[in-house]
Amino acid sequence: MIRLSGITPSGHIQLGNHLGAIRRWAAEGGPEDLYFVSDMHGMTTTHNPARLRSLAAEQLAMLIASGIAPERVFVQSDIARELGALTWILECTCSYGEAARMIQFKEKSKGQAGVRLSLLTYPVLMAADILLQGAGEVPVGEDQRQHVELARALAKRFNGTYGDVFTMPKAVLPPSGARVKDLADPTRKMSKSARDEVGVVFVLDEPDQIRRKIRRAVTDGGTRPVFSPETRPGMANLLEILAACTGGKPEVLAEHFPSYGALKEAVAEAVIEELRPVREGTVALLADPAELDRVRKAGAARAAERGEHRLSSALRLIGGN
């Protein structure tokens, strides 16, 4: 069973991406799994090409520094030809209404002028990512579940109409509560594309920046830490982060600290130690562009080769040559 997932270089990778997704991909990864930087998905709204390119390189380095085997990673645009071709085939399998119904499309296009057509067809490219590689399981957050379901519907329809080519994928969701919230606004999830960065801990932040952000995290008027997500969301977020970094339980950890200040110090140190190897590994790889390039080319060649027979069978079955 192949697991596959992607991360879009819409910003620098933050603590929530690390704890909620990447760290898990590295720990649970099977020998067949594939993880990639979905830079083509970063072109669907206004973007800066040079920034996109450098964020994609940074994210590739970070996937490797996080412990995912270099043979298991690639950058999406390195196989743009294969994916573009398969996206077209899948677009010929997808109805306009199906694409327009996607919640993320509706949210992102609402009230916007000049919405790119690619924002509408983005889930079809995502289906191509998944189906080209024959992935059976797709670890994603709740917000991407509907897109994986579309990929599944398209695979089923194509297989039923033209012939059996595609593996049926299914979404694998993280356990509930495993979502890091913004430190400045604990009602929102931490996001790499947040406009205001004071509440976002980036994996490449220096230890001092991390300390500062965590000390300033919004909590409540209480004095002793208590784990109560409903009534004290900021405190609960800090306890969840500490639990994720140290392996304890948030409600038990709460009892170990006499004050909010003491807890914040402990959270900061735990986060710094959790991120240190990833930050150092990423910086080292980025300082060695020849090595990064070698890994990148090898990953692209493998990903293209792995999907080649599915792409040519699908094209042939739908009436091409």
H-helix segments, the chain = 15-17, 23-28, 49-65, 80-91, 96-100, 103-109, 117-132, 145-162, 207-215, 233-246, 250-254, 260-286, 289-317
Q: How far apart are CA 41 and CA 85, in angstroms?
A: 16
Q: Does 59 bind ligand TRP (CB under 6 A)?
A: no
Among 56, 126, 253, 271, binds ligand TRP (CB under 6 A): 126
CB nearer ligand TRP, residue 126 or residue 286:
126
**Min. distance of Cβ 15 from ligand TRP in angstroms?**
16
From residue 320, alpha-carbon distances to 46, 155, 314 in Å are 34, 18, 9
Q: Does 218 bind ligand TRP (CB under 6 A)?
A: no
Report residue 233 as tokens: 């969301």
Minimum CB–partner distance for residue 27 and ligand TRP (Å): 18
Q: Is 309 exposed, middle or buried (0-12, 13-18, 19+ CB in 10 A)?
A: exposed
Residue closer to ligand TRP by CB (options 8, 59) is: 8
Distances (CA, A) of 181 to 46, 174, 185, 223, 236: 25, 15, 7, 21, 10
Residue 129 beta carbon to ligand TRP: minimum distance, rounded to whole angstroms: 4
The piece of 4-12, 186-194, 257-265, 269-277 that touches ligand TRP (CB under 6 A) is 4-12
Q: Which pair of structure tokens corresponds to residue 250? A: 């948030």
Q: Counting contacts by CB under 6 A, is residue 144 touching ligand TRP?
A: yes
Do 68 and 25 contact (CB within 8 A), yes or no? yes
Asked if 204 and 279 count as a contact pair (C-beta separation under 8 A), the reply is: yes
Q: Which is nearer to ligand TRP, 130 or 300 (CB)?
A: 130
Among this protein's residues, is 189 annotated catalytic?
Answer: yes
Which of 106, 156, 192, 249 is flagged as catalytic?
Answer: 192
Q: Interface with ligand TRP includes 38 (CB under 6 A)?
A: yes
Task: Work out how close the CB of 135 gets to ligand TRP at its nearest, in angstroms, rounded to a whole number.
Answer: 7
Reply yes or no on whether 213 is catalytic. no
Q: In whole angstroms, how close is the CB of 83 to ligand TRP at the nearest point? A: 10
Residue 306's closest CA among 192, 84, 176, 135? 135
When asked if residue 77 is in the footprint of ligand TRP (CB under 6 A), the reply is no
Tell me the residue number closest to ligand TRP, measured at CB.
Answer: 6
Q: Is 14 in the site for ligand TRP (CB under 6 A)?
A: no
Record the tokens describing residue 290, joined without a space.
């020849």
Task: Tell me the angle at which helices 289-317 and 117-132 cross, rounded to the nearest 10 degrees.
Answer: 90
Query: Active-site residue 192, yes or no?
Result: yes
Q: How far is the CB of 14 from ligand TRP (least distance, A)?
A: 13
Q: Is 282 in the site for ligand TRP (CB under 6 A)?
A: no
In the complex, the residues that contact ligand TRP under the rule CB under 6 A are 4-6, 8, 38, 41, 126, 129-130, 138, 140, 144
Residues annotated as catalytic are: 108, 189, 192
